Amino acid sequence: MVALRLAEALGVSSSISETRNASFEPLRSDVWLTLQTTYAQLLIRGRRAKGKAQIVGLIGFADRLRLIWHAAQANDPFADWWLVKIHDAISTVDARISLERESVQELFDTGRPFIAVPAQNREPFRIKLRFASPYAYRAAQMLAEFDSLACELLTARHIGRLARRDTTSITHSVASKIRGVFNIPLRFRHLGIDRANSHSWQADGQIAKRYMGVIPQDILEGKRRAAFAPPILSGAGEALPPFIEIEEIVQENDT
């Protein structure tokens, strides 16, 4: 009120009113993921083939994550639990990749005139991303860090600083951890449970426990949520959000 009176005294009240009534377009930003290695590229779309186990890639992970994200907005405690699991899993893999990169980089830091720079693809794979959840972007960043690790491992093998079996072992081990993160949303079941609605809990709580396990009490009570969990919105459970947008894929070289 004081600010408004001051504005009126300065003759700028009309501009304040216009600003309040203005309709602003949502902010947009371009997010690109650039990958150098086939190891990382294969984890973009995953694999769905007859006679072979399904591999969920980044795109499938982000698509399933939107359902969990929307359920968390609708006050579903199990969705909150799954976001905590995803947050912790990504953090664990990030730490593993960071540790492996530090170890490999020590192989290049010999303190001698011989200097090796990690290899890069002359025509890398690029994809433009637009996701509904920050955890999908965190997963993309995790994949980018794995790609950098793979480049360093391949270079270390090429210059004779790391044996082939060690390179293969580390690469496959970390890739397996990433696939484990991408698989987490598969175990979520959307049952429309609402913490604030005792009827929904009584009707579907036992089914949720059967499929997803016993939820930690602090998450059930809403005392613990994931660091990047969405705000709880009234009426959020009425409709699902739109499908994630993955704009033009530019694959200049898939080698």
User: DSSP assignment of 153-188, as one string?
Assistant: HHHHHHTTSS-HHHHHHHHHHHHHHHHHHHHGGGG-
Average pLDDT, the chain: 83
Give the per-residue pLDDT at 172: 96
pLDDT band at 66 (very low <50, low <70, confident <90, very high): very high
Give the per-residue pLDDT at 218: 95
The share of the chain scoring above pLDDT 90, in percent, equals 58
For the stretch 91-126, pLDDT in tens is 999 999 999 999 998 888 766 777 778 888 899 999
With CA atoms as reference, report the closest residue to 79 among 209, 201, 227, 229.
229
Residue 7 maps to a domain: no
Residue 18 maps to a domain: no
Residue 3 maps to a domain: no
Residue 4 maps to a domain: no
The 8-class DSSP code of residue 246 comes to -
CA distance 219 to 80: 7
Give the per-residue pLDDT at 206: 85
Helical axes 164-183 vs 38-45, angle rounded to 10°: 20
The residue-averaged pLDDT of 53-71 equals 92
Counting the structural domains of the chain, the total is: 1
Residue 12 maps to a domain: no
Residue 86 maps to a domain: yes
Q: Strands (DSSP E) along the chain, which ranges?
A: 31-35, 46-47, 55-56, 125-129, 249-251
Indicate whether this model's pTM tops 0.95: no
The residue segments making up the domain with residue 234 are: 30-251
Residue 9 maps to a domain: no
The residue-averaged pLDDT of 73-78 equals 94
Most confident of 49-63, 158-172, 198-212: 158-172
Residue 11 maps to a domain: no
pLDDT band at 29 (very low <50, low <70, confident <90, very high): confident
